[in-house]
Amino acid sequence: MQSLTKQLRVTVAGLVVAACATNPVTGRRELSLISESQEIQMGQQAAQQTLQSMPEIPEAGMKSLVSGIGLRIARASERPNLPWEFHTLDDPTVNAFALPGGFIFVTRGLVTHLNSEAELAQVIGHEIGHVTAKHSVSQLSKAQIATIGLGVGSIFSSTVASLGGVLQTGLSLAFLKFSRDDEIQADDLGFRYSLNQKYDVREAVDVYEMLQAMGARGGGKLPEWQSTHPDPGNRLTQTRQRIAALPAGSLNNLTVNEDSFLRLLSGMVYGENPRLGFFRGTQLLHPDLRFEWQLPNGWQTANMPDAVMGQAPAKDAIMQLQVSQTASVVDALRAFFAQQGIQQVSGGTTTINGNQAALGEFDAQTQSGTVRGMIAFIRYNNTTYGILGYAPLQRYASYQNVFRTSIGSFKQLTDQSALNVQPARIEIVTLPRDMTIDTFIQTYRSTVADDLVKLMNDAPTGTMLKQGKLVKRVVGGAS
């Protein structure tokens, strides 16, 4: 055993020495087990998975702006020849992320909380900095070294991935956590890239103030961007120091483009879009797909772009609903049972609220032991839906009827109030006179909390707004 351990250490050390490459940003030699072609291939695959699970926004103007800013910055960066792509996802979370190889994503939730093209440029420049400095490549290389050293075959369990439907290795690239040093470097690069494109880098302060305010709102829940981009702790201070250190005249004639940016937000969905499904308690109502599904009472729920999930209070059982790519319910059930590690316990055809269905039970081997589950495929409105419930084998009996009842609740949505629900949207108001943000909120009521209106307009209590200024409010939404 000692000789094997020593051999592994020698192997790892040899890989570290042999697998070094020059960082295009710093010029220093550093660990890299991934070639540029492999980096691009991983990024392309992950980007494809991301776009399959999260569609882009419909607003062509904002998509064009994001892509245009990104391409200008990227082509003037240290890695201009990567196959750069920039996408704006129709997702309400405040987030942006970079995949290896130059695939950059920002969300609707983020852009609706920004107030100028210059602010957007800072965010995009920051994400480009993660790619040019090869932060993801470094993280993945370290993970590979750790995997070799431990003698582990893979990071993710394929069986758990097939059951959960959300642990896709490609998508996980979007959620690599960067180090604080990575964040400081990406901030600095984003600042430099934005300034090189003549954007007013003073707007970066507003971006980080907004993220900080969102982190403080709601009991400290961080926006998604901050969960994968740890704040170095003095981000605002460092940004102000960068601005102060600029040579005299550097801040003259820089671009902000506030009004043109805000006009692109007019009519954009704000927050969750109930047309894509929303919960009343633990009951999922999906207006666009016209179905409803009841998860067990007391369970935690989540409506994600590619799946609906529920977790038992004791965290020992999970249910999930996803669209199946197989039209026939019988074929879908057969394909599920054919997966490696899945053993059929029972199975057959049935009907669920008048819809053709196939239902069965199974055992599956995971790294944590055997789980037993129930799986149903239901054909409804020319689409096949798969509903899965599973728990550890020793706990399955206590959940069997819970799973069966929940699966049996899938049916046509007939509630007209749910079918007619509409999302909240951004409305842009041109101020007819000078007023404070507080007067604006009282005069032009929004359907979101007052503090959110202040936050999305970067206007703390007491801020004076000038006549003619464009200001955001939120109208409509689910009651």
In this predicted structure, what is the pLDDT of residue 371? 93
The full set of domain ranges for the chain reads: 19-265, 275-417, 424-476
Which DSSP category does 101 fall into? T
Reduced to 3 states (helix: H, G, I; strand: E, B; else coil), residue 236 is: helix
Q: Distance of CA 401 to CAs 165, 387, 396, Å?
A: 23, 14, 9
With CA atoms as reference, report the closest residue to 419 among 275, 295, 271, 304.
275
In this predicted structure, what is the pLDDT of residue 218? 53
In this predicted structure, what is the pLDDT of residue 156? 26
Residues 6 or more apart whose CB falls under 8 angstroms from that of 479 comprise 421
The tens place of each residue's pLDDT in the chain, 479 residues long, gives 444 334 434 333 443 444 556 776 766 666 556 788 888 998 999 899 889 888 999 999 999 999 999 999 999 999 999 999 999 999 998 989 999 999 999 999 999 999 999 999 999 999 999 999 988 776 765 554 333 332 222 222 333 333 333 223 334 454 456 778 888 899 999 999 999 999 999 999 999 899 888 877 654 444 556 666 666 568 889 999 999 999 999 999 999 999 999 999 999 999 999 999 999 999 999 999 999 999 999 999 999 888 899 999 999 999 999 999 999 999 999 999 999 889 999 999 999 999 999 999 999 988 778 999 999 999 999 999 999 999 999 999 999 999 999 999 999 999 999 999 999 999 999 999 999 999 999 999 999 999 999 999 999 999 999 999 999 999 998 65
In this predicted structure, what is the pLDDT of residue 368? 78
Quick one: CA dihedral 324, 330, 331, 335, positive or negative? positive
Neighbours of 104 (CB within 10 A): 27
In this predicted structure, what is the pLDDT of residue 149? 31
Topology (CATH level 3) of domain 275-417: Protein Transport Mog1p; Chain A (3.40.1000)
The model's pTM is: 0.81
In this predicted structure, what is the pLDDT of residue 332? 95
In this predicted structure, what is the pLDDT of residue 220? 40
How does 35-46 read in b/e, with b if 16+ C-beta sit within 10 Å? ebeebbebbbbb
In this predicted structure, what is the pLDDT of residue 27? 60
Task: Give the type of residue at 123.
Answer: V
Residues 6 or more apart whose CB falls under 8 angstroms from that of 341 comprise 158, 159, 162, 364, 365, 366
